[in-house]
Amino acid sequence: MSLFNVYPLYNIAPEKASGATVWDENGNAYLDFYGGHGVISIGHSHPIYVKHITEQVNKIGFYSNSIINPLQEKLANLLPKISEYPDYTLFLCNSGAEANENALKLASFHNGKSKVIAFKNSFHGRTSAAVAVTDNPKIVAPLNAQQKVIFCDLNDINAVKKEIAKGDISSVIIETIQGVGGLDEGNTEFFKELEKVCKESGVVLILDEIQCGYGRSGKFFAHQHHGIKADIISLAKGMGNGFPIGGILISPEFKPSYGLLGTTFGGNHLACAAALAVLEVFKNENILDNVKRQSSYFMKKFKSLPQIKKIKGRGLMLGLEFDFEVAELRKKLIYEKKIFTGNSNNKNLLRVLPPLSITQNEIDILFENLKSCLE
Ligand SMILES: Cc1ncc(COP(=O)(O)O)c(C=O)c1O
> In Å, what is the CA distance from 157 to each residue of 59, 103, 129?
51, 22, 30
Same-domain pairing of 203 and 135? yes
Residue 139 has pLDDT above 70, yes or no: no
Residue whose CA lies nearest to ligand 1 atom number 16? 211
Centroid of ligand 1 to alpha carbon of 348 (angstroms): 21
Any atom of ligand 1 within 6 Å of the Cβ of 195: no
pLDDT classification of 143: cutoffs 50, 70, 90: very low
pLDDT of residue 144: 47
pLDDT classification of 140: cutoffs 50, 70, 90: very low
pLDDT of residue 145: 42
pTM for the model: 0.95
Same-domain pairing of 54 and 112? yes
Residue whose CA lies nearest to ligand 1 atom number 2? 124
Burial category of 304 from C-beta neighbours within 10 Å (exposed 0-12, middle 13-18, buried 19 and up): exposed
For 307-359, how does the pLDDT look when each residue is reduced to its tens digit (9 = 90+)?
999 999 999 999 999 999 999 999 999 999 999 999 999 999 999 999 999 99
For 43-95, how does the pLDDT look when each residue is reduced to its tens digit (9 = 90+)?
999 999 999 999 999 999 999 999 999 999 999 999 999 999 999 999 999 99
**CA pair distance 320, 311, nearest whole angstrom:** 5
Same-domain pairing of 229 and 330? no
- CATH code, 114: 3.40.640.10
**CA pair distance 345, 330, nearest whole angstrom:** 14
Any atom of ligand 1 within 6 Å of the Cβ of 175: yes
For 268-301, how does the pLDDT look when each residue is reduced to its tens digit (9 = 90+)?
999 999 999 999 999 999 999 999 999 999 999 9
Rounded percentage of the chain residues whose pLDDT exceeds 70: 94
Burial category of 142 from C-beta neighbours within 10 Å (exposed 0-12, middle 13-18, buried 19 and up): exposed
Atom of ligand 1 nearest to the CA of 246: 10
> In Å, what is the CA distance from 217 to each residue of 133, 161, 193, 211, 212?
23, 28, 22, 9, 6
Which structural domain range is residue 63 located in? Answer: 48-284
Domain count, the chain: 2
- Using most ligand atoms within 8 A of CB, pick from 124, 176, 263, 353 the residue to mutate for ligand 1: 124
For 91-130, how does the pLDDT look when each residue is reduced to its tens digit (9 = 90+)?
999 999 999 999 999 999 999 998 999 999 999 988 654 4
Atom of ligand 1 nearest to the CA of 126: 11
Q: Cβ neighbours of residue 213 under 8 Å, at least 6 residues apart?
A: 176, 220, 221, 222, 233, 235, 237, 238
**CA pair distance 157, 286, nearest whole angstrom:** 36
For 243-272, how does the pLDDT look when each residue is reduced to its tens digit (9 = 90+)?
999 999 999 999 999 989 999 999 999 999
Q: Among 25-34, 53-62, 134-143, where is mean pLDDT lowest?
A: 134-143
- CATH code, 372: 3.90.1150.10
Same-domain pairing of 297 and 277? no
**CA pair distance 72, 92, nearest whole angstrom:** 8
